[in-house]
Chains A and B, each alone.
Chain A
Amino acid sequence: MRKTLSVLLTAAMATSMLVACGSSSTQATTTAAAPAETKAAETQAATTAAPAETVAEVTEAAKAAEANGETITVGFAQVGHESDWRTASTNSVQSALSKENGIDLQFVDCDNDSAAQLEAVRNFIQQGVDYIVIDPIVSTGWDTVLTEADDAGIPVIVIDRTIDDSDKYVSWVGSEFTNEGLAAGAWLKAYVADKGISEVNALVISGTTGSSAQIGRSNGFDKYVEEEKWNKIDEQTGDFTQEGGQKVMESYLKSYEGKFNVVVCQNDNEAFGAIDAMKAAGVSYGVDGDVIVISFDACTAGLQKVLAGEINADFQCNPLQGPDCLNIIKKLEAGETVDQKTFMAEPWYVAEDKLKDIAYTNNSGKEVTEPLVVVDQAVVDAAY
């Protein structure tokens, strides 16, 4: 009996070790695109026509390159896999920088460990890849390693999050988080005016403190809080997680019962948690409720909540950086110069058909009027 047990356990140990090894070094060469990824690419094609064309063009170019026997190797050091958003971002890059497009992608999931990420980038430099794509976990501490990449003559493309202490990268692709916050403020201003709500008492569940998404969204929204003399009752972090959103909302509900009419969650996962907490406490929210719910990210599940009228407005943070990355690589290969910054196209989604568009001064000081997209089933189906 004891022998069998120990044999079994050893077997279990061996398998778990094997599995562990397989995952802890999540380094895998990306091959063909999975169905989900193809769908993501299609969505991108549907929403923004321009990158789609470039994809096609690059495919042509890749075919030519492949004919010459050249493949571009690209190392991609991704943050981790903490949310659906991140998964969509990973899928987008993987499907854009694919074999079909003449690129051999080395993907490393850094599991939110910034030391591991530096290590991964160093590895890429040693391997002598042609390009490095980084989604930096933290914004500082990059100078040394980026200088190494620069010395090795490897162009670095930064996506999503930013790098503050080094300018040794060729380009950055991502979202203008401050505009997302500003758009949320502008929408709320127009919405309360339309509804005839005179007083705004807002509770904010912010993202991970210090992340560029949190800073940008808070700054943008706070500008409206100040200008419109809204009452921001409290702001605590839910760490961009559903559990965090739920916990903070449970506490808010007890502290500020009946004293608030707006909840701003800085991502969809937090919004799901906050909604669950309000549901459990019997507080009415959403389109026909007492509390206006604002969220960011606009992932599929988030848009479903908008469709159901549980979230009033959802401000997208576009995770599909893949085609833009491909575009930059293609330009660099052709010897062209690239823009220092590429902002993703980001629609604003709302549940009700009342407001057509919002006007605000964006972060670069430009007066813009942007349309609001009313969510229907087609929008949800096309989301990432």
Chain B
Amino acid sequence: MTGKLKTLTKNQLFLPFAMMVLVLLINLIKSPDFFAINIQNGVLYGRLIDILNRGSEIAILAVGQTLVVAVSAGTDISVGSVMSLTACGTCMLLAGYGVNSTTTLAVPLVVGLLFGLVLAMCCGAFNGFLVSKLNIQPMVATLILFTAARAIGLLLCNNQITYIRYEPYKYFGNFIPGCPVPTAIFITVVVVAIVMLFLKKTAMGLYIQSVGINKKAARISGLNSSNICFMCYLICGLCAGIAGIVASSRIYSADSNNIGRNYELDSILAVALGGNSLGGGRFNMAGSIIGAYTIQAITVTLLAMGVSTDQAPVVKAIIVVLIVTAQAPAFKAFLAERKAKKLVQENETQKKEAA
């Protein structure tokens, strides 16, 4: 029994998961109806649904971010801006350049969406090229699009918020009529499933890990390190694009200033909360996704408790510090040392008693 418990607590996913449960438990004590889920107006309704729904963007971003962190021991800080660019590109094409609000589409919806995703993949490819081929530090390489992508989006939208008041465009961030589950949840599930399958069914996961641990060694053993690195950035860009479309669809517009603002930080945090080392190498996708929903759970909790949205970051920071500390190797070592000392003491007292 204790053995089983030990393997459970030793699992990398244990702590992230426990943290999320803890956050949710605090809510349960505060207000028992936090977990209530019912059907209202034909759709699922409740705080848990809010967490799953609103956490979609961070979860999708975390998928890409995890790969980038694992393969290059660096972070892609352009994801928030790429979200904004994707939204702007999509809305611009759908509405026609310079149109501020439209109820009819200039091009078919699919074309607009594909264009947005292609834009996002170009951004990913650009980042990947700088990091993998030119060996620029990830933080510096992605800093370029971090500043530029939002501005390019703004140019595409002719300096204004472009509204797409066309019902099907709202589906991705809201509900498809007749379906009680928010569409964003489906999108997240599909993205996560595809990437997980890709990692599990091909050797890609292993490759990424080996490149992350030692690029040279991986290369010598026959892996094309730079191509693998490039691909991770490409996937990360695509994920940012998908998240951007969801975020844009929620407000059926391209708000270049606000879409994806600070999301790069949340996505990196999600990776860290998931127990992944930001030093690259071994990674756990499930951990990052749990991390993403933990962040959203904290946000929703604070809103539910009526903590003013301005002060919320302080509380959020405290919780994050606690979670990260609990997972820090130094802290774990400290606990282990204390445990060992205790054992030694016990042993000694036992010896004395015996004597």
Contacts of B214 in A (CB 8 A): none
**A14 CB, min distance to chain B CBs, angstroms:** 11
A83 on interface, CB distance cutoff 8 Å: yes
A51 on interface, CB distance cutoff 8 Å: no
Contacts of A322 in B (CB 8 A): none
Within 8 A of A (CB), among B221-273: 247, 250-251, 253, 255-259
B198-219: contact bitstring with A at CB < 8 Å (1 yes, 0 no)? Answer: 0000000000000000000000
A247 on interface, CB distance cutoff 8 Å: yes
A201 on interface, CB distance cutoff 8 Å: no
Is there contact, CB below 8 Å, between A246 and B126? no
A281 on interface, CB distance cutoff 8 Å: yes
Q: How far is the CA of A19 from the CA of B306 in the complex (A)?
A: 43
Is there contact, CB below 8 Å, between A280 and B152? no
A126 on interface, CB distance cutoff 8 Å: no
Is there contact, CB below 8 Å, between A241 and B255? yes
Contacts of A82 in B (CB 8 A): 255, 257-258
Is there contact, CB below 8 Å, between B125 and A87? no
Within 8 A of B (CB), among A190-207: none
Is there contact, CB below 8 Å, between B151 and A20? yes
B50 contact from A84, A87, A254, Cβ within 8 A: A254
A1-25: contact bitstring with B at CB < 8 Å (1 yes, 0 no)? Answer: 0000010010011001101101110
B310 on interface, CB distance cutoff 8 Å: yes
Is there contact, CB below 8 Å, between A6 and B126? no
Q: How far is the CA of A234 from the CA of B45 in the complex (A)?
A: 21
Is there contact, CB below 8 Å, between B126 and A12? yes
Contacts of A12 in B (CB 8 A): 122, 125-126
A108-130: contact bitstring with B at CB < 8 Å (1 yes, 0 no)? Answer: 01011000000000000000000
Q: How far is the CA of A225 from the CA of B147 in the complex (A)?
A: 43
A227-249: contact bitstring with B at CB < 8 Å (1 yes, 0 no)? Answer: 00000001011110111101110
Within 8 A of A (CB), among B132-153: 133, 144-145, 147-148, 151-152
Q: Which residue of B lies closest to A251 (CB)?
A: B303
Is there contact, CB below 8 Å, between B159 and A9? no
**B185 CB, min distance to chain A CBs, angstroms:** 14
Contacts of A234 in B (CB 8 A): 306
Is there contact, CB below 8 Å, between B309 and A237? yes
Is there contact, CB below 8 Å, between A16 and B303? no
Q: Could you tell me the dominant secondary structure of chain A's interface residues?
A: helix
A152-166: contact bitstring with B at CB < 8 Å (1 yes, 0 no)? Answer: 000000000000000
B116-132: contact bitstring with A at CB < 8 Å (1 yes, 0 no)? Answer: 00000010011001100
Is there contact, CB below 8 Å, between B255 and A19? no
Contacts of B256 in A (CB 8 A): 81
Interface size class of B (residues with CB under 8 A): 35 or more
Q: How far is the CA of A276 from the CA of B45 in the complex (A)?
A: 14
A81 contact from B152, B160, B304, Cβ within 8 A: B160
Contacts of A222 in B (CB 8 A): none
B2 on interface, CB distance cutoff 8 Å: no
Is there contact, CB below 8 Å, between B161 and A13? no
Contacts A16-B152, A81-B159, A237-B310: A280 and B257 contacting too (C-beta < 8 A)?
A: no
B115 on interface, CB distance cutoff 8 Å: no
B47 on interface, CB distance cutoff 8 Å: yes
Is there contact, CB below 8 Å, between A6 and B161? no
Is there contact, CB below 8 Å, between B161 and A22? no
**A258 CB, min distance to chain B CBs, angstroms:** 11
**A384 CB, min distance to chain B CBs, angstroms:** 11
Is there contact, CB below 8 Å, between A84 and B161? yes
B96 on interface, CB distance cutoff 8 Å: no
Contacts A16-B126, A237-B310: A23 and B155 contacting too (C-beta < 8 A)?
A: yes
A287 on interface, CB distance cutoff 8 Å: no
Is there contact, CB below 8 Å, between A281 and B40? yes
Contacts of A242 in B (CB 8 A): 251, 253, 255
B50-68: contact bitstring with A at CB < 8 Å (1 yes, 0 no)? Answer: 1000100000000000000
A280 contact from B133, B147, B148, B174, Cβ within 8 A: B174
A209 on interface, CB distance cutoff 8 Å: yes
Contacts of A16 in B (CB 8 A): 126, 145, 148, 152
B250 contact from A13, A81, A246, A248, Cβ within 8 A: A246
Contacts A87-B160, A209-B310: A247 and B133 contacting too (C-beta < 8 A)?
A: no
Q: How far is the CA of A374 from the CA of B126 in the complex (A)?
A: 53
Q: Which residue of A lies closest to B43 (CB)?
A: A280
Is there contact, CB below 8 Å, between B50 and A23? no
Contacts of B300 in A (CB 8 A): 251
**A206 CB, min distance to chain B CBs, angstroms:** 9
**B308 CB, min distance to chain A CBs, angstroms:** 6
Contacts of A281 in B (CB 8 A): 40-41, 45
Contacts of A282 in B (CB 8 A): 40-42
**A17 CB, min distance to chain B CBs, angstroms:** 8
A301 on interface, CB distance cutoff 8 Å: yes
Q: Most chain-B Cβ atoms within 10 A of its Cβ — which of A209, A248, A280?
A: A280
**B41 CB, min distance to chain A CBs, angstroms:** 3
Is there contact, CB below 8 Å, between A248 and B310? no
Is there contact, CB below 8 Å, between A23 and B258? no
Q: List 19 A-B contacts (CB under 8 A).
A: A9-B125, A12-B122, A16-B148, A19-B155, A20-B151, A23-B152, A80-B257, A81-B159, A84-B160, A237-B309, A242-B255, A243-B251, A248-B303, A254-B45, A254-B50, A255-B304, A276-B174, A282-B40, A282-B41
Given contact pairs A20-B147, A112-B257, A243-B258, enumerate 4 new A-B contacts (beta carbons under 8 Å): A19-B148, A20-B152, A241-B255, A254-B46
Binding site for A on B (CB under 8 A): 40-43, 45-47, 50, 54, 100-101, 122, 125-126, 129-130, 133, 144-145, 147-148, 151-152, 154-155, 159-161, 163, 174-175, 247, 250-251, 253, 255-259, 300, 303-304, 306, 308-310
10 shortest interchain CB distances as A-B pairs: A282-B41, A20-B148, A23-B151, A251-B303, A242-B251, A9-B129, A82-B257, A209-B310, A237-B309, A241-B258
Binding site for B on A (CB under 8 A): 6, 9, 12-13, 16-17, 19-20, 22-24, 80-84, 87, 90, 109, 111-112, 209, 234, 236-239, 241-244, 246-248, 250-251, 254-255, 272-273, 276, 280-282, 301
